[in-house]
Structure 1
Amino acid sequence: MTAKDTRETEAAWDEIAAGFDEYATPFTISFAETVLQRVDLHPGMRFLDVAAGSGALSIPVARLGAEVVATDISPAMVELLVARAQNEGLSNVTAHVMDGHALELEDDTFDVSASQNGVSLFPNMQRGLREMVRVTKPDGRVLILAFGPPTEAEFLTFFVGALQAAVPDFDGLPMDPPPLPFQVADPESLREQLADAGLNDIRIDTDVWDTEFRSAMHLWNMVINSNPIAASLVADLSQEQISEVQKNLDTKLRERSKGSGPAVLTTRMNIGIGTK
């Protein structure tokens, strides 16, 4: 990325950081906890979290006793991650503002380098992956958690459907090419990216990520604070249109929950693991 692109990306994520920490991170922490069982972490292992956000992956890793280094391009995200670690008394987490396209870290340093919905959002994902491989020890592992197809991300399909019903001229998300969060939605695409970055013994798994939403407002807040792209979708809506979208969401969530308790939405996730 150019210096201008870096500044714009940093500012965009800074702007939604507080909402991301409040609404998105609690969901992704729970998914990270289930996935980490696949990489056999031990206390004292060195773990790198790239594009760490406010700690959805770093925090559960630190709870397992690994020595965590977290990086993110957004100073606001890093600040929130540090606060989360401090609130839990986790002294084994350090966090740095850093562009994952060019990590300011030494070669062959980490037992595991990982990213959850992070490097898979990079405009140059291959460059980000190669940086992760570079700083991983020989025989160390790289772990990537990334979204599957957008049509199988119900938090998004519910939101977009409610938006289209309220704003008939809204065309939906562009799909050619797909938004960056879905650039490796095809598991084989993720496999190719990992192989091209120099990894071996690659395994690609798919899993379902269940998320519970208590209300239309809960889903609205999670989506618009999850990514600057999502925030831009609603930036020009009138208050009347926003109210209509939320009304539509309420109807869809009630139908899913059958009017009782939270609505459970599912998202297909790709999990890639390779060895350096």
Structure 2
Amino acid sequence: MTAPTKPPTTDQIRTAWDTLAPGFDRHTTPHTTRWGEQALAGTAIGPGTRFLDVAAGSGALALPAARRGARVVAVDLAPAMVERLAARARAEGLEHVRALVMDGEHLDLDDDTFDVSASLNGVSLFPDLGRGLAEMARVTRPGGTVLVAAFGPPREAEFIAWTVGALRAAVPGFAGMPTDPPPLPFRLTDPDRFAAVLREAGFSGVTVRQVVVGTFFGSAAELMDTIRSSHPLGAQWIAGLTEDRSTEVRQILDGMLRERSGGAPGAVLHTTINVATGTP
């Protein structure tokens, strides 16, 4: 059993994501936008839908909703993420997007405001998941929908699993991903447990569906850049490599990509996402 550690403070969390924001926007959001599109597939989000994206990053869920015509409020703790989300919305001419700096555990928003409140790998990372879900429920109108999307099993997030495998092969003593407890992004990997968490939070009509999304990585370097920028843990893995180890990891990943693609330097990697919905 891993000894419990003191949770990071809000300021520490904000600083960590602010630091990652430039790389996250450049390397991670282009991939996770595909996840956002799939999470919204089949939902009744369209022109005029009042849509809230909690812990929005630089827009992987908010912008697909806005492209459907929704009136979007997107909030994130990190100002640098909010700046990049707003810039993306302006570049696409998406006028009905408001990007705000806000703590998702303490939303400065009125009760019963939104038709849909959603989060993609956002509220699932909160130190207090229950508080985050309660806030999403509070600001969603009666009969509205709360949608939460989070990673499936780590082995089914190939961009992570492949990198962990390459690091284990190249770096003696690399510990890999902790499992007890797992990192916060993987706290809701089991669909039954995910549904139970929402029911315990007071939601009704809970459903959890799994979607497998393929995204293209053009090179091993792009894959490593995505890992480095996607989460503080990934940044720690890559930052700790010597130049020689980094080269070795890149070479291993290059071989894996070429094997998947039949010789080309890039390949499609797959990620399983659990998409849960419920009515507050």
Cα RMSD (Å): 1.4
Q: Alpha-carbon deviation of 1:35?
A: 2.5
Aligned pair 1:70/2:74, yes or no? yes
Q: Percent identity?
A: 52
Residue 10 of structure 2: aligned partner: 6
Alpha-carbon distance in structure 1 between the residues aligned to 2:157 and 2:41:
23
Alpha-carbon distance in structure 1 between the residues aligned to 2:237 and 2:172:
14
Q: Alpha-carbon deviation of 1:147?
A: 0.1
- Corresponding letter in the other structure for 1:275: T
Aligned pair 1:165/2:169, yes or no? yes
Q: Alpha-carbon deviation of 1:153?
A: 1.0
Q: Alpha-carbon deviation of 1:38?
A: 2.5
| Stretch of structure 1 that moved more, 225-234 or 76-85 | 225-234
TM-score for both structures, normalised by structure 1: 0.96
Alpha-carbon distance in structure 1 between the residues aligned to 2:186 and 2:250:
25
- The unaligned stretches of length 5 or more in structure 2 are 1-5
Residue 36 of structure 1: aligned partner: 40
Q: Alpha-carbon deviation of 1:122?
A: 1.1
Report the count of equivalent residues: 275
Residue 258 of structure 2: aligned partner: 254
Structure 1 residues 243, 127: CA separation in 2 closer, same or farther (over 3 Å shift)? same
1:238-261: CA deviation from partner (whole Å, max 9, x where unpaired): 111111111111111111111036
Q: 2:89 aligns with which of 85, 90, 93?
A: 85
Whether the 8 Å CA contact 2:7–2:127 is kept in 1: the answer is no
Q: 1:125 aligns with which of 123, 129, 141?
A: 129
1:143-162: CA deviation from partner (whole Å, max 9, x where unpaired): 01100011111111110111
Q: 1:231 aligns with which of 228, 235, 244?
A: 235
Q: Alpha-carbon deviation of 1:188?
A: 1.2
Q: Alpha-carbon deviation of 1:123?
A: 1.5
1:44-97: CA deviation from partner (whole Å, max 9, x where unpaired): 111000000000111111111111000001000000000000001111000111
SS at 1:90's partner residue?
coil
| Stretch of structure 1 that moved more, 82-91 or 255-264 | 255-264
- Equivalences for residues 1-276 of structure 1 within 5 A: 5-260=9-264, 262-276=266-280
Alpha-carbon distance in structure 1 between the residues aligned to 2:8 and 2:268:
40
Q: Alpha-carbon deviation of 1:271?
A: 0.6
Alpha-carbon distance in structure 1 between the residues aligned to 2:216 and 2:130:
33
Whether the 8 Å CA contact 2:35–2:273 is kept in 1: the answer is no
1:129-154: CA deviation from partner (whole Å, max 9, x where unpaired): 11100100000000011000111111
Q: Alpha-carbon deviation of 1:3?
A: 11
TM-score for both structures, normalised by structure 2: 0.95
| Stretch of structure 1 that moved more, 60-69 or 26-35 | 26-35
- Corresponding letter in the other structure for 2:133: L
Q: Alpha-carbon deviation of 1:34?
A: 2.6
